[in-house]
Amino acid sequence: MVLARDRLGEKPLFYGWQGNAFLFGSELKALTAHPSWHGEIDRDALALFMRYGYVPLPHLNLARGDARLPGSYLTISFDTPVAVLPAPTFYWRAREVAVAGVRKDLDDITAADELDRLLRCSVAGQMVADVPLGAFLSGGVDSSTIVALMQQQSRRPVRSFSIGFAESDYDEAVHAKAVAAHLGTDHTELYVSPADALAVVSDLPEMLDEPFGDSSQIPTYLVAAMARRHVTVSLSGDGGDELFGGYNRYFWGRAFWRRIGPLPRRCANWPAAESTRSHPRDGIGLDDACRTGCANRRSAIACTSWPMSLT
């Protein structure tokens, strides 16, 4: 039997030994329904999850013996010993593709044009659907870029959806509405209350199978539930803030580095310094950022949590 997963892990795949049974499925709930499931927690993975908000490699998941690696496949047969998990074979690696795709002959204008072309092609491919299509719109870098490219390639107004909150500090509906008006989308918004958000919490374990360390899961569910009444598929953006400097921390990080840049360099030989340390996600503490090696320190400081790490 061969189990394979897509390149970036968009489609779920869970597998692993539970006792004498090798279980696999597209949802963790399917595995937990099997009589052999015993639900042992990998406490090392749990500690990493509590630290970073997700489980980084080489740990595979919170449940011991359960695995799910993207861009790979594995083969298991009747001869495979019980409790032995075959090593996956990677048919695709993001780092290799990125390195192979680097072009050094691009000037700024050519690079921007090529990025625009790639984004257009990607969005156009995602818009091919035989069901009603829409998009989530928050007014930020991610979703605004996606919706703008959708509207540019659509003959009629794109259906866009956003949610808002009465608390002005968290309300993005105003920005979304402005973007929708500028682009000419068919926009729908819904204002939700704290009670609406709290009502979602009890349903999260059934929806997500396992902990998900991002509070945005609640507003994402609310906007998805609202959009589902109008469309079947919705596009959303992710990663635009990292690519295009959408987070305030990049501005704060640059200003902070100018002030304290020489200090970390003088401290580079401290025992705590690690020349090859990498940080699996944003949200690291400022103390961690200052202890990274020289090559990574500036980007680490830019990726630290702002402004909470200063308090």
pLDDT reported for residue 11 = 86
Tell me how crowded residue 301 is: count the other CB atoms within 10 A of its CB.
25
Confidence of residue 267 (pLDDT cuts 50, 70, 90): low
Q: Which of 269, 168, 205 is nearest to 28 (CA)?
A: 205
pLDDT reported for residue 268 = 46
Q: pLDDT, tens digit, for every residue of 161-193?
A: 999 998 888 888 999 999 999 999 999 999 999
Please tell me the CATH code under which domain 103-241 is placed: 3.40.50.620
Q: What is the largest CA-CA distance in the chain?
A: 62
pLDDT reported for residue 39 = 78
Q: pLDDT, tens digit, for every residue of 97-144?
A: 888 888 778 898 998 999 999 999 999 999 999 999 999 999 988 999
Question: Across residues 211-234, what is the average pLDDT?
Answer: 91
Among the residue ranges 74-78, 195-199, 285-289, the one predicted with the least confidence is: 285-289
Confidence of residue 232 (pLDDT cuts 50, 70, 90): very high
Confidence of residue 308 (pLDDT cuts 50, 70, 90): very low
Tell me how crowded residue 74 is: count the other CB atoms within 10 A of its CB.
19
The 3 state secondary structure assigned to the chain is CEEECCCCCCCCCEEEEECCEEEEECCHHHHHCCCCCCCCECHHHHHHHHHHCCCCCCCCCCECCEECCCCEEEECCCCCCCCCCCCCEECCCHHHHHHHCCCCCCCHHHHHHHHHHHHHHHHHHHCCCCCCEEEECCCCHHHHHHHHHHHHCCCCCCEEEEEEECCCCCCCHHHHHHHHHHHCCEEEEEEECHHHHHHHHCCHHHHHCCCCCCCCHHHHHHHHHHHCCCCCEEECCCCHHHHHCCCHHHHHHHHHHHHHCHHHHHCCCCCCCECCCCCCCCCECHHHHHCECHHHHHHHHHCECCCHHHC
pLDDT reported for residue 258 = 75
* CATH 3.40.50.620 domain span(s) along the chain: 103-241
Share of the chain above pLDDT 70, in %: 82
**What single-letter amino acid sits at 88?**
P
Q: Average pLDDT over the chain, rounded to whole?
A: 82
pLDDT reported for residue 169 = 82
Q: pLDDT, tens digit, for every residue of 25-66?
A: 988 888 889 999 987 888 888 898 888 888 887 777 777 656
- pTM for the full predicted model: 0.75
159 has a pLDDT exceeding 90? yes
77 has a pLDDT exceeding 50? yes
Are the C-beta atoms of residues 135 and 146 closer than 8 Å to each other?
A: yes
**Can you tell me the distance from the alpha carbon of 18 to that of 39, in angstroms, rounded to the nearest whole number?**
9
Question: Across residues 69-96, what is the average pLDDT?
Answer: 89
* All residues at 6 or more sequence positions from 188 whose CB lies less than 8 Å from its CB, including other chains: 159, 160, 161, 162, 226, 227, 230
